Amino acid sequence: MTSEAMKAVAKRTLGLIDLTNLNDDCTPSDIEKLVARATCEHGSVAAICIYPQFIKQAAELLKSSPVRIATVVNFPQGGEDTLAVVEQTRQAVADGADEIDLVMPYKAFAAGRRGFAEDQIKKVRDAIPAPAQLKVILETGELKDPRLIHLASEIAIAQGADFIKTSTGKVAVNATLDAAEIMLNVLRETSVENHRQVGFKPAGGIRSLDDAKAYLDLADELMGQNWVSAATFRFGASGLLDAVISGIEGHEEESKEAY
């Protein structure tokens, strides 16, 4: 990319990032640093994405900020204890979470238990009062089969997801353009019949402006030039912000941080 093209992609990307720290060794000090990074002289990210135990701390730090708080439930295993997941969800919203990123029970779903997956997503959806939102993580790198990814996308949307998300970032294969194409096509196919807007979130392994541009270009191609916004598209990432700031400021360097 030319420097001007790089700057344009960087400016477009900044407000689409869910700035993430889902490291196993995350501490309250790390949350302070994450919140501090979420707003810079060039603008703010869309949200921070953190573990539930840090929601109250983040809510206090962000009480005068437009940055939203996303958290994860049933993470990362996508387990089958639906009652526990629902309770975790209710507590997260009570603590101040604006967005719930639910790992669907993808192993049960892949084993043919579609109804179980539908039921868990629906029960979590019912536990989230407006205006809080639900993102459903499909774990596409584990589903592998394009037909399963397509069906999982349809199920998540039908059960009330506000976003469908590729990955946890905790497995061998996370966000890919192939999975993104399938998921975006489902969004395009179902947008009219659903009469509501559902977004897309690629997550895991997206670190450079070239990575970001590839996903944005795909979304523009499939969904139209005016579709992408923070209401419809998020990047789940930790290191991407460094690349974005470098791009806005005209530097070549890009972050090597892992998701």
Query: pLDDT per residue over 3-41, tens digit each?
Result: 899 999 999 999 999 999 999 999 999 999 999 999 999
Looking at residue 252, its pLDDT comes to 63
Q: Is the pLDDT of residue 253 over 80?
A: no
Looking at residue 79, its pLDDT comes to 98
pLDDT, tens digit, for every residue of 29-77? 999 999 999 999 999 999 999 999 999 999 999 999 999 999 999 999 9
**Which pLDDT band holds residue 258 (cuts at 50, 70, 90)?**
very low
Looking at residue 254, its pLDDT comes to 45
Q: What is the CATH number of the domain that holds 10?
A: 3.20.20.70
How many Cβ atoms from other residues are within 10 Å of residue 16's Cβ? 23
Q: Is residue 253 included in any domain, yes or no? A: no
pTM: 0.95
Hey, which residues are catalytic here? 101, 165, 201
Q: Is residue 80 included in any domain, yes or no? A: yes
Q: How many domains does the chain have?
A: 1
Q: Is residue 147 included in any domain, yes or no? A: yes
Provide mean pLDDT across the span 106-123.
98
Rounded CA separation 100/104 (Å):
12
Q: Which residues contact 44 (CB under 8 A, 6 or more apart)?
A: 14, 15, 38, 65, 66, 67
- Given the structure tokens 């539908």, which residue do they identify? 118
Looking at residue 1, its pLDDT comes to 81
Looking at residue 257, its pLDDT comes to 44
pLDDT, tens digit, for every residue of 144-200? 999 999 999 999 999 999 999 999 999 999 999 999 999 999 999 998 777 789 999
Per cent of the chain over pLDDT 70 is: 97
Q: Is residue 133 included in any domain, yes or no? A: yes
Looking at residue 194, its pLDDT comes to 73
Residues of 79-115 as b/e, b for ≥16 C-beta within 10 angstroms?
Answer: eeebeebbebbbebbebbbbbbbbbbbbbbbbeeeee
Q: Is residue 258 included in any domain, yes or no? A: no
Q: Is the pLDDT of residue 247 over 80?
A: yes
Q: Is residue 254 included in any domain, yes or no? A: no
Q: Is residue 259 included in any domain, yes or no? A: no
Instruction: Specify the higher pLDDT residue, 252 or 114.
Output: 114
Domain around 211: 3-248
Rounded CA separation 109/161 (Å):
16
Looking at residue 202, its pLDDT comes to 98
